[in-house]
Structures are given as structure tokens and as C-alpha cells.
Amino acid sequence: MIEINKNYNESNLVTLNKTPDNTIDLTITSPPYDDLRAYNGFELDWQNLIRELYRTTKQGGVVVWVVGDATIKGNETGTSFKQALFAKECGFNLHDTMIYQKSTPPLTHNRYEQNFEYMFVFSKGKPNTFNGLREPRKYTDNRTKKAFGRNKDNSVDLGYSSKDETRLRRNVWKYFAGGGANDKIASQHPAIFPEQLANDHILTWSKDGDLVYDPFMGSGTVAKMSILNNRNWIGSEISSEYCNIIEERIKKAWEEKRKEKDLQTGTLFENEM
């Protein structure tokens, strides 16, 4: 049996090997793509990883796979698509192909600047949890019926109750990619995803007490946001150097959580008197 609320300094396949079938509620991860970064030479066996994720994910559990493609000699690899189709072959449902739109500094080459990654949402059967996040609606009026509409910018607004001041978010999510972490120490890792991205998927696809996994824990973003949202978590990170960053961030997250609890119970106030 695996110990939870723990980061394992080992390959994800080793961690998963000791994980029983149907254990994990939600995985959120960004695999190193196309050897773009060597990560001390560790090789990525994504086929076995996806197979193992399918085995260890609970029925109704979800895997969010955040990935892009390298361009090699002017040719995009398409590995992300291969991975998505392979996940389907393993039994996952491709529940949604979402986009992580990132604001990145401009580079110069003979194509439009790449400013997104895929967020494939794989589910093992129908997702157990969907807490759809909402966003402010631009336009409201007095119609009460569900309707198809057209926004003033000519985009189609699909099916809404127009008295609502909010609507269900669409599946393109925009985040600032320049770190997006509130802990300075996280910037010692070269490829973190934004805290808010992890946060939003945790809220959408899991509930309090669920088990969240990141097989490529990196700087510990998923662990941190799981702690702050009252979820259990596990992680695998092969580099011991990055594990130190993870430990620091976890420690800070638990402190933040403890302070929040003390504030609620009034203990912090008493301690400070």
C-alpha cells in the first residue's frame, strides 16, 4: 500500500508499481515533452506510464495531461496527439481537449508564435466530479429562456440563461506562463505550470479528501495546491535536486493551511496576544 501526502524521489513507474488498482481520483501533470529538456538524462516511457495511470485511476477518475509538441527541423512532432490516441487505446475516454493559452515573450521564426499547450482531460468512464467553474458574462438581458445568442463581438454564445451574470467557462484557459508561483523557490525549476492552472483543475475534477497525483512533480505545484484545497496527494519526482524545492513548498503550504485554521478557530489571535 502506498503512503499518501508524500512525494517519492523515484521514477513514476516505480511509484505506480506499488499503487493498487483504482486508487487515484485525479492526476494533473505535464510530462517533459519530446526531450526538449534533458532533465539529467531521464528517459520518458509515456506508453507504460499511461497504461499504469489507467490501472491506478479510480472508475470515474480523471487525468489532466498538459503537453505541447517540440518543433524539430521545422516539423512539429505531433507526440501530444499520439499520447492522446494511445490513452484512448488504453481505455480512457477523451473527455475534453482543453487549451492552456499562455502569455509568452515573442520569439522570431517563420511561423506564428506558439502560445498554447493542450490539456487533454482523460476520464475512466464518466467523470465522478464536475464542478464547472464560472466566469462573468459580458452581456445580460431580460430573456429568461435558454437560448442561442450572439455576442456583440459577433462570437456565438451557446445556450445560456441570460439573466445570469455568470456563465460556464469555455475550455480555453489563459494563464501567465512566467512562473505563476507565489513561492520564489519554485522559480529554481525550469518548467513549472501556473498554480492557478493546477488549482482550477483540482476544483473542477475533485472534491475534499480526494487523492490527487502528479507523476512529474517538478517543483511541487500540484502538491501545494492540493494541500491548500484540502485534497490528499502523492507525487513522483526523479530528480533529488527538485525534490528539495518540493519539500520547501509543501512545508510552506502546510504552514499557510495551519494559519488559516488558527484564524478560523481564533487560536492565532490568542497566540498573538
Ligand X SMILES: C[S@@+](CC[C@H](N)C(=O)[O-])C[C@H]1O[C@@H](n2cnc3c(N)ncnc32)[C@H](O)[C@@H]1O
Q: Which residues bind ligand X (CB under 6 A)?
A: 11-12, 30, 32, 39, 42, 44, 189, 191-193, 215-216, 218-219, 221, 236-239, 242
Cell of 99: 487549451
Residue count of the chain: 273
State which residue, 187 or 265, has the beta carbon closest to ligand X.
187
Q: How far is the CB of 15 from ligand X (least distance, A)?
A: 8
State which residue, 30 or 57, has the beta carbon closest to ligand X.
30
Q: How far is the CB of 38 from ligand X (least distance, A)?
A: 10
Q: What residues have CB less than 8 Å from 136, skipping those under 6 apart?
A: 165, 166
Residues facing 232 on adjacent strands:
211
Any alpha helices (H) in 60-159, and if so which ranges? Answer: 79-89
CA distance 129 to 134: 16
State which residue, 65 or 193, has the beta carbon closest to ligand X.
193
Q: How far is the CB of 137 from ligand X (least distance, A)?
A: 31
Q: How far is the CB of 224 from ligand X (least distance, A)?
A: 9
Q: How far is the CB of 68 from ligand X (least distance, A)?
A: 10
Q: Are 161 and 137 contacting, i.e. CB atoms less than 8 angstroms apart?
A: no
Q: Is 124 exposed, middle or buried (0-12, 13-18, 19+ CB in 10 A)?
A: buried
